[in-house]
Amino acid sequence: MEFTADPAEGKRVYDLDRAHVFHSWSAQGALNPMVIAAAEGSYFWDYDGNKFLDFSSQLVNVNIGHQHPKVVKAIQDQAAKLSTIAPQHANAARGAAAQLITGLVADNMNKVFFTNGGADAVENAIRMARIHTHKHKVLSFYRSYHGNTGAAIAATGDPRRWPNEYASQHVHFFGPYLYRSAFWAASEEQESERALQHLEQVIQFEGPSTIGAILIESVVGTAGVLVPPAGYLAGLRAICDKHGIVMIADETMSGFGRTGAWFAFQNWDVKPDLIVFAKGSNSGYVPVGGVIISDEIAATFDTRVFPGGLTYSGHPLAAASIVGSITAMKEEGIVENAASIGKNILGPGLRALQEKHPVIGEARGLGVFWALDLVTNRETREPLAPYGGTSPAMNELIAESKKRGLMPFANFNRMHVVPPCTVTEAEAKDGLAILDEVFTVIDKHYVG
């Protein structure tokens, strides 16, 4: 698309924002938000006319790309037909969305509870698990993010949990992370085995009869794009079965094509009991999330009231956007494209950057879901920024990327490479070329 710069309008929008909008996760006085004017495909523009290749997919949610015409049309058509209706009534869009979603998973999962996003989907998955098992504790990774509502933020492992710990009965444990192993492992096989032994020990000390659910991101997202080693998810599934624990797969970030499969857990042929989804289901075009429920857990509420609900559960516009998105992803081979880009372009390209630039300690990922673990010393693996914080080096990394027209996703000492699932080979190569230039600048921070 062609975009005409309009700095005056940009200033008006900026001033309006700073006067009246309260931003998330921020000290308000120091904010200087980028003002976005338009977007299309893998790109967006600011009002000064600067064009950015979106290697963040915003919050790793714009899987189908910006302004996909089929999804936009689905929303427009639904708005003309039925814009909203209370959730106690059936509507065609919600039924169609649920049917499409359950068609992507196992035969024993036939019901969907719709929410407004990933956090409240996690809340309701936890609620279902606790009621189904009559057990109250929830185990989750230290390296995790599950949302910013009561139980979801308590289940979260990262530092955003610390000022928000009001929900109770949450226990954290270490998941597999070979590059920074908590288990002194020397191979993926060892890491998987020892991480599972650690989990089993935590369960024993917490009491199996008290644990209702184990909640994990199938591939950990914000906390590092941590791809589980072979055997880990299967082992976790076996532990859940052994102790009567519900396995909840949080696929908010990793689902709907992000790893080159519809859901990340499908890379290992494992079946959770509950699946949380949101972001990629419609790329955030309308706020939505949900829980895919196993038949066994759904049956718990055949005669027992489920004590949860939301005014906008299964909102027609959101449901229509899911139908439009899944349909387009199937018709256009978008999940297959994500797998191909990861295997043939991003994977080899990022590993080549790792070989070239000493500040890149490890490149890891699947599909269009990658992270670069950045270090000042490869021997000690000293992070380029501290846990829970940033550093001048990371700030420079972000600034140099934007200067060259690439929008990065950075967290602590990591840069995540997460373009839309629709990204083309040419766009992915352009992004890699920009990263090569950026890391040529950033390598000066390496002291090893």
pLDDT tens digits for 260-269? 999 999 999 9
Helix (H, G, I), strand (E, B) or coil at 115: strand
Among the listed residues 365, 358, 364, 363, the one whose alpha carbon sits nearest the alpha carbon of residue 379:
358
Residue 423: its pLDDT value, please?
98
- List where CATH 3.40.640.10 sits in the chain: 69-332
Task: Pick out the chain residues at pLDDT < 70.
Answer: none
Q: What would be the CATH architecture of the domain defined by 69-332?
A: 3-Layer(aba) Sandwich (3.40)
Q: 103: which residues sit within 8 A by CB, 6+ positions away?
A: none
Residue 343: its pLDDT value, please?
98
Residue 326: its pLDDT value, please?
98
- Structural element, H or E, at residue 361: strand 360-366
Is residue 264 within 8 A of residue 219, CB to CB? The reply is yes
Distance CA 313, CA 113 (A): 8
Burial class (CB in 10 A: 0-12, 13-18, 19+), 397: buried
Rounded mean pLDDT of the chain?
97
Residue 220: its pLDDT value, please?
98
- List where CATH 3.90.1150.10 sits in the chain: 7-67+333-445
Residue 356: its pLDDT value, please?
98
Residue 448: its pLDDT value, please?
86
Q: What is the DSSP string of 261-324?
A: SSSGGGGTT---SEEEE-HHHHTTSS--EEEEEEHHHHHHTSSSPP----TTTT-HHHHHHHHH
The span from the first CA to the last CA of the chain, in angstroms, equals 45
Q: What would be the CATH architecture of the domain defined by 7-67+333-445?
A: Alpha-Beta Complex (3.90)
Distance CA 41, CA 321 (A): 16
Strand partners, 415: 372, 410
Distance CA 219, CA 213 (A): 18
Give the count of beta carbons closer than 10 Å to the beta carbon of residue 223.
21
Is residue 278 within 8 A of residue 117, CB to CB? The reply is yes
